[in-house]
Amino acid sequence: MDKRPLKVAFLGTRGIPANYSGFETFVEELAVRLVERGCEVTVFNRYPFVPLKEPVYRGVKIVRLRTVQRKSLDTLVHTFLSCLCLPFVRPDVVYFCGVGNAIFCLATRVLGIPSVINVDGEDWARKKWSGFAVKWLRWSEGWACKFANVVIADSRAIQRRYADVYKRKTMFVPYGANIRLEERGTATLEKFGLKRDGYVLFCGRFVPENRAELLIKVFNTIETDVKLVLVGDAPYADEYKRELQELAGPNVVFTGYAFGDAYAELSRNCLFYVLASGINGTRPVLLDQMGFGNCVVVRNSASNAEVVADAAITFEDSDEFDSLRVAIVRLLGDRALIEEYRKKSVERVRAAYDWEKITDEYLAMFRELAK
């Protein structure tokens, strides 16, 4: 009987340790847990975006490859180079992150390696893409359905869309979250002149689809001593970042990227968190903030409603400015309501988004594919 460990390779992200977006966090959380379960896991890191030079991170093997630093090409070039390395890594299963990488599932078929692709949300709808890039992402949805052995939908809404549009059966596996309720320090708060429960939090890349400008415009109309803190940044988005900075009033604080202890401290000490994004699909940062025990405010989209159930305050697409303003003003005036939703967030994560259960699902699926 073959006793060698199951070998899994992750392609298509910037790599680990996570320092960019939800996909990187997902890969780190899953990869480390797979190693703990006896798997041999390889993650292809994108240099120079991830500066890690060590060949192993938390038990996960790292292959570091350069790429071109252009928004429309860096992912595709890196994934192509990663595929060229697969005959030397010899994984039993390849996991692609992001529907834009779907064409490379054809390469793994040629190599005789089963492939899994997480198509995420409606990537083509992101405002940062236009022209040929939008066409490529729409074509990629079809390629994912045609070439991948398993297509992962991280929400029921996306699963229904692929069934309706492409008649393709997908496997629903959500993202997970860690419950992190321990008290944090104050060094990062002091650095930015913040106090516990003295600010509303936004976390995410500064790209148009995350709608930070909507949140700033709303916050500018509210008379309050509470600050708005925006954690994040983005490459290739200088014009949009300038727009945000020009919009910002005196109560708006930009921290830049924050990871590790700094991110945890800013998350754990906020009054509540707002997700203004207009893209349909599960947002890992939302689950993350719920895991910190935060009251959350989210757009009432199909995917968000699926994630939060009754554990969040929502605002509506149809009148997003006024609806979001009403939600924020309501919470600023009712600390008891904030406490109620903080408890609901933790209960929701514990019931539906446990990383250990999600890892078990993936491991069972990988083993079946490897046969």
77 and 41, same structural domain?
yes
127-161 pLDDT, tens digit each: 665 677 788 888 999 999 999 999 999 888 889 99
Higher pLDDT, 228 or 125: 228
Task: List helix spans (H) across the chain.
Answer: 22-36, 74-89, 104-111, 132-147, 156-166, 187-191, 212-220, 238-247, 260-268, 284-291, 302-308, 320-332, 335-352, 355-370
- What's residue 190's pLDDT? 96
Among residues 48, 54, 62, 150, the alpha carbon closest in space to that of 102 is found at 150
Residue 191 backbone dihedrals phi, psi, to 5 degrees: -60, -35
Taking phi first (over 0 means left), then psi (-120 to 50 degrees means alpha), and beta for anything else, what does residue 58 get? left
pLDDT at residue 362 in the model: 97
- Look at residue 1 and tell me if it is in a domain: no
Question: Which residue has 């929400």 as its token pair?
Answer: 155
CA distances from 77 to 11, 72, 262, 285 (A): 12, 10, 32, 27
What pLDDT digit, counting tens, does each position of 262-274 carry? 999 999 999 999 9
Coil, helix or strand at residue 283: coil
Separation between Cα atoms, residue 298 and residue 236, nearest integer Å: 26
Mean pLDDT computed over 348-357: 93
Q: How confident is the model at residue 235 (pLDDT cuts 50, 70, 90)?
A: confident
Same domain for 161 and 206?
no
290 and 361, same structural domain?
no
Same domain, yes or no, for 242 and 147? Answer: no
In this structure, are 194 and 221 located in the same domain? yes
pLDDT for position 1:
41
d(Cα 227, Cα 224) in Å, to the nearest integer? 8
Find the CATH number of the domain harbouring 109.
3.40.50.2000
Q: What does pLDDT average to over the chain?
A: 91
Residue 89 identity (one-letter amino acid):
V
Residue 233 included in any domain? yes
Q: Is residue 97 assigned to a domain?
A: yes
pLDDT, tens digit, for every residue of 56-101?
999 999 999 988 777 668 889 999 999 999 999 999 999 999 999 9
Domain match, 226 and 308 both = yes
CA distances from 144 to 23, 113, 115, 150 (A): 17, 15, 10, 9
Instruction: Give the span between the Cα atoms of 364 and 360, in whole angstroms.
Output: 6
Establish if 271 belongs to a structural domain.
yes
For residue 297, the cross-strand partners are 274, 313
Q: Is 153 exposed, middle or buried, given 0-12, 13-18 or 19+ CB atoms closer than 10 A?
A: buried
Q: In the structure encoding, which two tokens stand for residue 223, read together?
A: 């008379």
Whether residue 326 sits in one domain with residue 225:
yes
One domain, residues 145 and 240:
no
| Whole-number pLDDT of residue 2 | 59
Closest Cα to residue 64, out of 81, 84, 44?
44
**CA angle at 286 for the pair 282 and 291, rounded to the nearest 5°:** 125
Residue 123: pLDDT band with limits 50, 70, 90: low
Task: Give pLDDT tens digits for 288-333.
Answer: 999 999 999 999 988 899 899 999 999 998 899 999 999 999 999 9
Residues 35 and 14 in one domain: yes
Using CA atoms, how far residue 54 sits from 19, 35, 61, 310, in Å, is 16, 17, 9, 43
Residues 297 and 362 in one domain: no
pLDDT tens for each residue of 333-347? 999 999 999 999 999
Evaluate whether residue 181 is within a structural domain.
no
Shortest CA distance to 300 belongs to which of 322, 317, 277? 317
Q: Which domain holds residue 16?
A: 7-176+354-370
Tell whether 118 and 224 lie within a shared domain.
no
Binning pLDDT at 50, 70 and 90, where does residue 20 land? low
Q: Does 335 reside within a domain?
A: yes
The residue whose two tokens read 């990871």 is 259
Assess if residue 182 is contained within a domain. Answer: no
Task: Taking residues 8-30, report their average pLDDT.
Answer: 88
Q: What type of residue is 20? A: Y
What is the 3-state composition of the chain as percent helix, strand, coil, each rounded to the nearest 5? 45, 20, 35
Other beta carbons within 10 Å of 106 = 15
For residue 11, give the DSSP letter: E
Least confident of 29-38, 146-155, 212-221, 299-308: 299-308
Higher pLDDT, 279 or 60: 60
Residue 308: predicted pLDDT: 94
What type of residue is 109?
R
pLDDT at 370: 93
* pTM (two decimals): 0.81
- Asked, for residue 23, whether it belongs to a domain, the answer is yes
What is the distance between the terminal CA atoms of the chain, rounded to a whole angstrom? 13
Do 361 and 309 share a domain, yes or no?
A: no
* Interval 16-38 mean pLDDT: 89
Number of compact structural domains in the chain: 2
Answer whether residue 125 shows pLDDT above 60: no
Continuous segment of H or E residues that includes residue 10: strand 7-11
Distances from the Cα of 116 to the Cα of 1, 170, 171, 190, 313, angstroms: 26, 10, 10, 44, 34
